[in-house]
Amino acid sequence: MVRLTSALALMAMSCIPAVAQAHCYSIYNGKDELIFQSTQSPIDLRQPLADAVKKRFTSDSRMVFTPNSDDCPIVDKTVAPVAIPETGKKR
Q: Is 17 a residue whose pLDDT tops 50?
A: no
The residue ranking higher by pLDDT, 24 or 78, is 24
What pLDDT is recorded for position 91? 55
Pairing between β-strand 34-38 and β-strand 24-28 as defined by DSSP bridges: antiparallel
Rounded to whole angstroms, the Cα distance separating 6 from 19 reads: 22
The CB-side HSE value for 42 (13 A sphere, CA atoms) comes to: 28
Per-residue model confidence as pLDDT tens digits over 32-90? 999 999 999 999 999 999 999 999 999 999 999 899 878 899 999 987 766 777 776 65
What pLDDT is recorded for position 19? 44
Domain ranges of the chain: 19-76
Strands (E), 1-91: 24-28, 34-38, 62-66, 75-76
Rounded to whole angstroms, the Cα distance separating 83 from 86 reads: 9
What pLDDT is recorded for position 11? 52
